[in-house]
Amino acid sequence: MDMGSKDSQGLLHEHMGLWIALLVLSIPIFVVWWWTDYRWSLALREPPLVPYIIPWIGHGLSFMKDVNAFTAWARSKYPSSPAATVQIAGKHLYLIFDVKLASQIYRRSQTFIFDPFFIQTSRILGASKKDLEILEMGAQVVFRRPGIKDDGRRILHDLHQLSPGFLQGKSLDKLTDVFLDVLCEDIDKRFPPSEEKSYEWEAMNLGNYIKETRAHASIVALLGTHIYDIWPGVNEWVWKFDEHFQSLFTEMPQFLNPKAHKLLEEGQQMCEKWEQDALKAGEEGRIEEDPEWDPYWGLRFSRVRSEMLRDNGLSTKFRAGNGVAFLWGFEANAIPISIQIMSQVLLRPKLLAKLHTEISACQTGPLTFDLKKLTTQPKFKSLFYETLRWATASPSPRVVREDCQLGDYLLRAGSMVVIHSRTLQMDPATWFIPGCPESDPSNFWPERFMDGHSSEALVTEENAEAEENYFTDVKRGSTGDRKGKGSEKTQLSKSKYIQHKMSALRPFGGGTTLCPGRHFAMNEILGGMVAMMLRLEIEVVEEELEKNGVPEADLKKTGGLFPDRPFIVRMRRRRT
């Protein structure tokens, strides 16, 4: 054997020895990695599955029929579990019953995403294929459809940024001023102070009266007076549409769900007409330059929103459908709560007297008051928050963007998560105080929030983290490179008790979808109630109360909940 052959064999043996050494050294690393991953997969499981009978469909029919009753039933199957899994149309849906898990979902907006629901709602309300392609540009989705060209438009992001800026500050003040002016005018028309008949008792259903007056005042404040010129029946339409809105999400064809589709079509036609008339009025110089409010557009926000949608190439039908959803959402939540808060006050004459004392401290004249000061009064604040807790049921949905860890659970990509606010708001573990029977969460207890704390600081801090995650993710513009386990921050803003209680109060959702209209909702609900209290004497008709019973929250709908029965009162003009 020559010298070259021996050198080659020696080199080969040397390399083999090196590879064997590397392999031996890597075995412990591989074993540790495998064992860690294996233990993680063993430790993490989806939340417990609620049994179902019908394959693939699972619980879908029950969930769509009555989400509140279904969620209560699902919770009863695993009362100590912070979450449960249900089967709907071949996919898993995770119901969240735990305050801490809910807060993590809201904060981790890059993993738990809402954009798919906006896109689905837009499709149901009339968006074209081209509209959907525009909406999907830069949207947070699980999978991007092939063939979607991205030209840089970010309409969902832009809409998200637009709303808060126009529903606070100067715009909020203008919105509130117009609302209260119209409401007071309507009260004065029904009970003219100059007519003696106005000072005689008149019996009526409180809910119907508040529906009529608050809807008119808030629609004029948001959309102007001209909408009533072209659509006199808009008030009646709102409440009919509210009854059928949820059924549209079953996506049944029109012949199987004719009433809902007919109401949707009416709303689309009238919202399209409203926009066309406002554009024409602007072209003809009937609208002054850039006002905060005008009779055709209403609040400046409505005009700027329409302009943004048009500039981004979204169709007339999409804009009309978007207007339908906006109008319905603006009316269908705050007004039921307005009815509930007034009803609960009238059932408690001692509370009514105490509220009049707080009103007196805020009055600037016989019929006027400082609303900003009023909303800081302890009894009014506590009453407001308790009404939100007791009379709302606001399911907050998200899509899981990738496999991730939430608490002790593994959640699968493409599945849906629903935080059911009413479950959190009625949980005895959060709300019941031992030795204080009135604190039972099934009771309406006006003093529940008399500790002086507000949920706004908590939701603002939580919202800030969610917004940061959302904007970072949108700028990245990618569906990948996100850590599944995510962060689970500990909240440190208040004492643990107060923090836990306020984290469980979720009438306005949370995270990036925290309702931007919540500030006006407070002004509308409390300001509207005080405007009535200063102008009218109102008493419960005891005979009718005995016959009908005390109203409870009607759980057949979501969002703000109406009373489940008539509440008959007598009213007359208050002498000042």
Tens of pLDDT along the chain (576 residues) come to 454 555 555 555 555 665 565 555 556 555 444 443 444 444 579 999 999 999 999 999 999 999 999 999 999 999 999 999 999 999 999 999 999 999 999 999 999 999 999 999 999 999 999 999 999 999 999 998 888 889 999 999 999 999 888 899 999 999 999 999 999 999 999 999 999 999 999 999 999 999 999 999 999 999 999 999 999 999 999 999 999 999 999 899 999 999 999 999 999 999 999 999 999 999 999 999 999 999 999 999 999 999 999 999 999 999 999 999 999 999 999 999 999 999 999 999 999 999 999 999 999 999 999 999 999 999 999 999 999 999 999 999 999 999 999 999 999 999 999 999 999 999 999 999 999 999 999 999 999 998 755 555 656 667 777 878 887 887 766 444 444 344 344 343 445 666 778 889 999 999 998 999 999 999 999 999 999 999 999 999 999 999 999 999 999 999 999 999 999 999 999 998
Could you tell me if residue 511 is left (phi over 0), alpha (psi between -120 and 50 degrees) or otherwise beta? left
**Token pair listed for 83:** 């979450």
State the Rg of the chain over Cα.
28
- What is residue 471's predicted lDDT score, i.e. its pLDDT? 75
Q: Angle at which helices 258-283 and 234-244 pack, to 10 degrees?
A: 140
3-state secondary structure of 313: coil
Q: How far is CA 468 from the centre of its chain?
A: 20
Identity of the residue numbered 519: H
Q: Angle at which helices 496-503 and 99-107 pack, to 10 degrees?
A: 70
Kindly report the pTM of this predicted structure.
0.89
Q: Which residues contact 408 (CB under 8 A, 6 or more apart)?
A: 43, 44
Q: Which helix (H) or strand (E) holds 239?
A: helix 234-244
Dihedral angle sign, alpha carbons of residues 300, 304, 310, 311: positive
Q: Which helix (H) or strand (E) holds 306?
A: helix 300-311
- What is residue 102's predicted lDDT score, i.e. its pLDDT? 97
What is the CB neighbour count within 10 angstroms for residue 552?
A: 15
Cα–Cα distances (Å) from 304 to 161, 284, 297, 317, 345, in that order, read 12, 18, 9, 18, 39
- What is residue 62's predicted lDDT score, i.e. its pLDDT? 94
Going by the annotation, the residues of the binding site are: 515
**Spatial distance between the Cα atoms of 259 and 242, rounded to a whole number of angstroms:** 12
3-state secondary structure of 112: strand
**Token pair listed for 488:** 């689970």
Indicate the DSSP class of residue 538.
Answer: E
Cα–Cα distances (Å) from 275 to 313, 319, 372, in that order, read 15, 9, 33
What is the CB neighbour count within 10 angstroms for residue 154?
A: 18
- What is residue 287's predicted lDDT score, i.e. its pLDDT? 97
**Token pair listed for 231:** 């659509």
**Spatial distance between the Cα atoms of 378 and 497, rounded to a whole number of angstroms:** 19
* Dihedral Cα 9, 15, 17, 21, nearest 10 deg: 180
**Spatial distance between the Cα atoms of 143 and 328, rounded to a whole number of angstroms:** 30
What is the CB neighbour count within 10 angstroms for residue 119?
A: 18
Going by the annotation, the residues of the binding site for heme are: 515
Q: Which residues contact 269 (CB under 8 A, 6 or more apart)?
A: 320
- What is residue 5's predicted lDDT score, i.e. its pLDDT? 56
What is the CB neighbour count within 10 angstroms for residue 134?
A: 22
Q: What angle do CA 483, 486, 488 make, to 5 degrees?
A: 170
**Spatial distance between the Cα atoms of 235 and 562, rounded to a whole number of angstroms:** 16
**Spatial distance between the Cα atoms of 265 and 259, rounded to a whole number of angstroms:** 10
Instruction: Decide if 341 contacts 561 (C-beta within 8 A).
Output: no
Cα–Cα distances (Å) from 402 to 34, 88, 99, 312, 399, in that order, read 21, 19, 22, 30, 9
- What is residue 26's predicted lDDT score, i.e. its pLDDT? 59
Instruction: Decide if 488 contacts 104 (C-beta within 8 A).
Output: yes
* Dihedral Cα 196, 197, 202, 207, nearest 10 deg: -80
* Residue linked to tokens 């007519």: 195
- What is residue 36's predicted lDDT score, i.e. its pLDDT? 38
**Spatial distance between the Cα atoms of 12 and 26, rounded to a whole number of angstroms:** 21
Cα–Cα distances (Å) from 516 to 67, 102, 336, 355, 410, in that order, read 24, 19, 18, 28, 31
Instruction: Decide if 299 contacts 171 (C-beta within 8 A).
Output: yes
Q: Which helix (H) or strand (E) holds 190?
A: helix 169-190
Instruction: Decide if 58 contacts 88 (C-beta within 8 A).
Output: yes
Q: Which of 545, 458, 571, 467 is nearest to 506 (CA)?
A: 458
**Spatial distance between the Cα atoms of 121 and 291, rounded to a whole number of angstroms:** 31
Q: Which residues contact 563 (CB under 8 A, 6 or more apart)?
A: 207, 339, 340, 343, 551, 552, 553, 554
**Spatial distance between the Cα atoms of 521 and 519, rounded to a whole number of angstroms:** 5
Beta strands 409-411 and 404-406 are: antiparallel
